[in-house]
Amino acid sequence: MDEPKPLLTISAVSKKFGDIEALSNVDVVINSGQVIGLVGGNGAGKTTLLRLISGVLEPTTGSLMFKEKKVSKSRERIGVVPESTGLYARLTAWENIRFHSRIYGIEDSVSWARTYHFAKRLDIKDELSRHTKGFSRGMRQKIALLRALAHGPDILLLDEPTAGLDVTSARTVRHLVGQLRDEGGTVIYSTHHLAEAEQVCDRIIIVHNGTIRADGHPDELIKSTMTTNLEEAYVELTKDKARPRSDAKEKEGRISKWWSKFLTGTTPKEVGEDE
């Protein structure tokens, strides 16, 4: 029997912003049914990699392929939960989700069924009819997660998904991530919290100064560095001084800029998100 083809293949990818090389010669292969922890400090290149995977940015060199198509041509197969949720305050939670799903051409009945299914898992089904203005940061994060799942993505990108959540809510989100993996889903879980990454992820990718320093199961990284936990392994693998963070941004076209705002939560002023 032929082995299944990789879901996402990142080949020799580099990304420059002017004279600044945010990523250098990155190679990563991701299969279905994995939770991959993406770990790195400020300026490491982690956010740039997430934006490349989401299709917001194009690589300077190299390629990102979703199955047999370029990632930039497969955006509808990717769900994104940015750290800043970008919810529309004047809309209800469901209206926010429905608007997002309609962009992907998903029928309201299909979107609602998926939304309600996951809302029950997160114990927030009664919040779907409420306007998002005044929602706590944790509740906005949960609604953003529902929004990202409503169109049935093959890959889910989570950027600091438990930031602002209380202990119980954070545990619920981690449990849902595990269920998605068990059901064959693929999650890229970006976090600064190494203990959380060790708990949730069955594979860790460490990004430092624009390069991949390690890629493997947490136990493998600990063993290879002869340390006792993932935090110590991370420190061992990133001993060289971290470069300063750069806010350089690539010039984007109108459509690309809108897409970037939509995915990253940087919404227009008239949205009125209650951050």
Q: Domains in the chain, start-ordered, CATH in brackets?
A: 8-239+255-263 (3.40.50.300)
State the DSSP H helix or E strand holding residue 66, giving kind and residue range, or none if neither: strand 61-66
Round to whole Å and give the CA distance between 275 and 261.
16
pLDDT tens string 197-227: 988 999 999 999 999 999 999 999 999 999 9
Residue 248: pLDDT above 80?
A: no
Spatial CA neighbour of 174 closest among 122, 241, 111, 223:
122
Exposed e or buried b per residue across 181-216, where buried means at least 16 C-beta atoms within 10 angstroms of its C-beta: beeebbbbbbbebbebbbebbebbbbbbbbebbbbe
38 forms beta bridges with: 190, 205
Burial 133-162 (b: 16+ CB within 10 A, else e): eebeebbbbbbbbbbbbbbebbbbbbbbbb
Round to whole Å and give the CA distance between 31 and 115: 25
Q: Give me the pLDDT at residue 219, please.
A: 93
Q: Going edge to edge, which strands form the sheet with 186-190? A: 78-81, 155-159, 186-190, 35-39, 203-208, 211-216
Q: What is the pLDDT of residue 43?
A: 82
CA-CA distance, 244 to 264, in Å (whole number)? Answer: 22
Per-residue pLDDT, 262: 52
Q: What is the pLDDT of residues 166-176, one digit of tens each?
A: 888 888 889 99
Mean per-residue pLDDT for 239-250? 66
How far apart CA 65 and CA 158 sit, in angstroms, is 19
Residue type, 27: D
pTM of the model: 0.84
Residues near 247 by beta carbon (within 8 Å), at least 6 away in sequence:
none
Higher pLDDT: 128 or 246? It is: 128
**pLDDT of res. 245:** 66
- Report the distance separating Cα 173 and Cα 35, nearest Å: 13
